[in-house]
Amino acid sequence: MRPAKEYNMTEGKPISLMLSFALPLLCGNLFQQFYNMVDSMVVGQFVGTNALGAVGATGSINFLFFSLCNGLSNGIGIIISQFFGARDDRMVRKSIVSCFYLMGATSLTMGTLGYLSAPFVLRMMNTPPEILPDAVLYMRVYCAGMVTLSAYNGIASILRALGNSRTPLVFLIISSVLNVFLDLLFVLVFSWGVFGVGFATVLAQGFSALGCIAYVARRVEYFRLPKEFWKPDRDLIKRCFSYGVPLALQTSMISLSIIVLQSVVNSFGATVVAAFTAGNRYEQLVQQPFASLGMAVATFTGQNIGAGNSDRVKKGFRTGLLLALGFALFMLPIAFGFSNGIMRLFTKEAEVIAIGSVGIRLTALFYIPLGIIHVTRSVLNGSGDTRFPLLSGIVEVCGRVGFAKPLTGIPFVGFWGIWLTTGLTWSLTSVMGVLRYRIYTGRKFNG
């Protein structure tokens, strides 16, 4: 008997399936970004601009250390969605066990590496001296909690592969509310500053992970695993690696390109770092409709690949592009009309507000290419294109590395080239994604 809250996406209208799947994801992602924004708001308003810059300066490097864990969980999710679409319940269970082993080992390894290397890496990134101590502290707290962060994301990835996007939402909402409460408690009452904000995030994510574990152990049939399933399956683990490692490399390369861009940002001083940090928090919020849609497209694609239904994959791709276009056009006027107000949520300093609000408007011009990236990437990953993640990562590295220094070196452009680099990189990556989709699907579905 299949679990009541899991459903397959091999039948029915793609647009209704994607929207019903993506909306809970969107709510969850918005809540997650909400408490990320609260971190920055609390730090910027009650600790100071330097502390806000310290939190922002660690974002790209924290993402790099987390990317291997996240890439593996997404790759395993694709495999599980294909087994689920093929109605192979035994392999679904065996894949879940492989996920436990891989996520546990990689999260411990990456968390330890990140903790130990924090001072060296942040100095290499040209982190301004006045924010370096807080940046090292925040990064170490984040890396120390890597296991809890990975546990939630791993289970959530499995549930999404089974068509259940609602359960992760519930626990994410609870942890988001808890995170806000702990932020205010640790910063305003205990005066723990940057440490308090990081510790609040780790505790809240740990609570979310424990809640998910308790739920799936009691309610989800696929997590009821007899002894024979706990024996490691080397062939399946290799397959998980073959899907997960390219995704992890893609994310890692994107992270490296963002680190290069962050080092350019850091060279302009604490004010620009703070403006870029606040603008990034809003940009991450804007990305959530696209990211949620992408997860829906990936699950839709994976299940239909497992069912051998290539025509539905193509139809899902077209539907995804239309939805992405709609999201982009909806959010564009919000960025232009409310950028000043958005920046005031993070800081009271007029110069930071002025720089950040213009940066928000610049990147808003490139929302359509951003949406195309999420849809094409999700279809290709869900189809099992193991070469695409590496190609995508290379293009993003070339874009950010290739645009950042030349653009910021132009006298009348200066630090505005930071935001232009982001937009132009999105454009370049979206063109590559569409071309790869046409080539890969032509070979896989028509060859």
Query: E-assigned strands of 352-439?
Result: none
pLDDT at 157: 85
pLDDT at 346: 80
pLDDT at 2: 41
The residue written with tokens 């269970």 in the block is 93
pLDDT at 27: 79
Report the distance separating Cα 176 and Cα 406, nearest Å.
Answer: 40
The residue written with tokens 């925040």 in the block is 138
pLDDT at 3: 42
Q: Is residue 178 a contact partner of residue 100, using CB atoms and an 8 Å limit?
A: no
pLDDT at 445: 63
Averaged pLDDT in 10-residue chunks for the chain of 447 residues:
56 86 78 69 80 79 78 83 87 89 89 94 87 92 90 87 82 84 90 90 88 88 86 83 78 78 86 86 85 87 86 91 93 90 85 92 94 92 78 86 90 90 94 90 66
Report the distance separating Cα 145 and Cα 103, nearest Å.
Answer: 14
pTM exceeds 0.75 for this model: no
What separation in angstroms does the CA of 145 have from each of 54, 86, 121, 198, 222? 18, 36, 19, 9, 27
User: Measured in Å, how far apart are the chain's first and last C-alpha atoms?
Assistant: 37
**Can you state the angle between helices 146-161 and 270-306, rounded to 10 degrees?**
30
Q: Which amino acid is at 408?
A: T
pLDDT at 26: 81
Give the burial string for 15-48 (b: 16+ CB within 10 Å, else e): eebbbbbbbbbbbbbbbbbbbbbbbbbbbbeebb
pLDDT at 35: 63
How is the chain split into domains, by residue range? 14-446
